[in-house]
A = this chain, B = another copy of it.
Amino acid sequence: MASEQASVEAPAAIEKYSKRVVLETLLGRSDGGVGLIGQRVVIGGWVKSSREFRKEPVFPAPEVVGSKDASCVEVLQTRLPFFRSILKVLGIGELRIHDKLDSVVPKPPQASISILLISDGSCVPSLQVLVDSALAPPSIVMPTGTCIHAEGILQKPSLQGKQILEFKAETILYIGEVDHNRYPLSKKRVPLESLRDLSHFRPRTTTVASVMRIRNALTQATHKFLLENGFLNVQVPIITRTDCEGFSENFLVTTLLGNAGTEDQSSAGDTWGVKLESIKASIKEKSKKIEELQRTESNKEALASATHDHKKATELASQLEEKLKAKIGKPMQTVKVDFSKDFFSSKTILTVSGRLHLESYACALGNVYSFGPRFRANKNYSNKSLSEMWIAELEMAFSQIEDSMDCANDFLKFICKWILENCTEDLKFIAKRVDKSVVDRLQFIVTSPFEKVSYTEAVDALKKVTEKKFGEKVEWGALLSEEHKSYLTEEIYKKPLVIYNQPKELEPFYVRLNDDGRTVASFETIVPKVGTLIRGSQKEERLNMLNTRIKELGLDNQQYEWYLDLHKHGVARCSGFSFLLDPLVLYATGLNDARDAVPFPRSFGKANN
């Protein structure tokens, strides 16, 4: 019957290069793969969970058969082919008949079947895989995390349960074993926090795999929207001399320390450091005590003793300080560095933003974009922004701030719609396991008209709020806090919000000054849960304004020479925006920490691999 069905159905889709059936193309079918029953395929995946099925011999074990029981022997002899085939199917071992029936082969091997649920990372559901102990011992194939690559037959489930399809292995192609005493994952759920130090294993969990597939879809949709709208992809530099914003701490890129020895990392220095700090604190206290005693003139002895104490402590402190200096040497921060001897003959940093570089390409090619990593050496912990982030940036010549706002809205709607249409199964799983409002939230962006509100209006609206006390005061000129933003979008306007015309002090030098002289042509798109998803602006095209802004912000204008040069020669009016991928992944998955949504997160103190 199985082969009958197979002849009607198209054969299973075989992945062209690894020549296996990707589980998504099997289990993701509308019939769950049942239509492919009977087909011989290759599968590969990792064990999520497993159990063992020990076979009970259905017939009297062969050893009971002997010459004493003549009738039985007779039956055995006449029905030999039948018994043999039965025993073979059950995997109990072959019945070998010797010359003398007395010596029929004894004891069948301890036979069992490993029943595995395996996933290959292509979809949420797992496939039930049967591996006979004759093919591979249960102790090898059963541990969670084991990699199984096998050829076999798709069949009806041989055991009752939820499964509607199973795969019976016939040839094992490869097994990637697990040292199950040390393997950090198990069939039980491991909290996301515990997985953060396991970036090389965590995509094997169903949740992280789903998140990564959604992240992939968002990446794909980003390129798709931009290419369909005629933007050219321009790869802006990662190593740069230009600090695009002048606001944040940068990572230096250098080969000056390339061959530097790593200092003996014994913590002696640190211990002394801690000691020194505590001694200094005690010196301060002792000084206070002495002052007090001097003021009161109450106890000369006490004063002498306190002065002695103070002196001793001061001596100890200076000794420790000497030791520390000898240990650490000149602190690196104060070393004079000759960057003209560095690899690029100048000081270079990891790019914070490619907007300036992109603008120069927009001023030649029109609409351009870039999608790549950007960096901030930000020591403040934030669950939404890491030190290394993928950001899509676009720039349009002949456009103004309104144009970019419209483009940003369409862009967000497009990619959220894309996820809803292309990640249905993953969103279902996420809704069940992580956050049940995830689909509604995506729909919210797709269907809501975005509200455009000026910064000033937003501040006024927040000032009118009486039913809530904010952690930070609402004040014109200050950054809106996360709390302010979420109140605006969730409570006041109940829509995705575009806040525009921010105070100039809050924005980079390149944003166009408005006629009021106080605000600039910038905007940010704010949504519930994660706050800012997009930051955009119209660029300042007027050279004199740019110079003034660079001066006002106290920036070193040498690094912007090329950018100022651009503004002397045929600059266009440009606008554009930056789209932050990580917060949107959080928005679309319900997760709360970007470290769970980025394949290999980088944050202060952490770059594991």
User: Footprint of B on A, CB under 8 Å?
Assistant: 15-20, 22, 42, 44, 46-47, 120-122, 145-147, 149, 173-174, 176-179, 182-183, 199-204, 209, 212-213, 215-216, 219-220, 223, 227, 229-230, 232-242, 249-263, 265, 267, 269-270, 328-329, 332-341, 343-348, 350, 357, 360-361, 363-367, 372-373, 375, 377, 379, 387-388, 390, 396-399, 403-404, 406-407, 410, 541, 562-563, 565-566, 568-573, 598-600, 602, 604-609
Contacts and interface: CB of A to CB of B under 8 A. Distances in A.
A200 B337 contact: no
Contacts of A259: 333
21 contacts: A16-B406, A17-B399, A17-B403, A17-B406, A18-B397, A20-B398, A174-B572, A203-B365, A237-B599, A237-B602, A241-B608, A249-B255, A251-B255, A251-B258, A253-B253, A256-B257, A257-B333, A258-B333, A270-B340, A332-B341, A562-B608
A337 B262 contact: yes
Q: Which 8 A-B pairs have the closest CB atoms?
A: A121-B365, A203-B364, A44-B398, A263-B338, A200-B360, A344-B607, A237-B600, A145-B570
Nearest to A143: B570
Residue from A145, A223, A238 with most neighbouring chain B CB atoms (10 Å): A238
Contact of A17 (B201, B215, B404): B404
Given A200-B360, A599-B235, A336 B398 contact: no
A600 B368 CA distance: 15
A570 B335 contact: no
Contacts of A329: 335-336
B254 A183 contact: no
Nearest to A342: B332
B17 A396 contact: yes
Contacts of A200: 357, 360, 562-563, 565-566
B602 A46 contact: no
A258 B147 contact: no
A387 B343 contact: yes
A372 B388 CA distance: 13
Looking at A121, A399, A403, which has the most chain B CB atoms within 10 Å of its CB?
A: A121
A570 B178 contact: yes
A174 B574 CA distance: 11
Contacts of A388: 237-239
Contact of A609 (B202, B562, B568): B562
Nearest to A402: B17
A339 B254 CA distance: 14
Contacts of A344: 602, 604-607
Given A16-B410, A265-B340, 16 more contacts: A17-B229, A22-B230, A122-B365, A147-B363, A147-B571, A199-B562, A204-B364, A213-B365, A215-B235, A219-B233, A234-B599, A250-B255, A262-B339, A265-B339, A343-B377, A357-B600
A40 B79 CA distance: 95
A341 B329 CA distance: 13
B252 A234 contact: no
A202 B572 CA distance: 15
Contacts of A258: 249-252, 333, 377
Contact of A257 (B232, B252, B341, B379): B252
Nearest to A338: B263
Q: Which of A235, A236, A360, A571 has most B Cβ within 10 Å?
A: A235
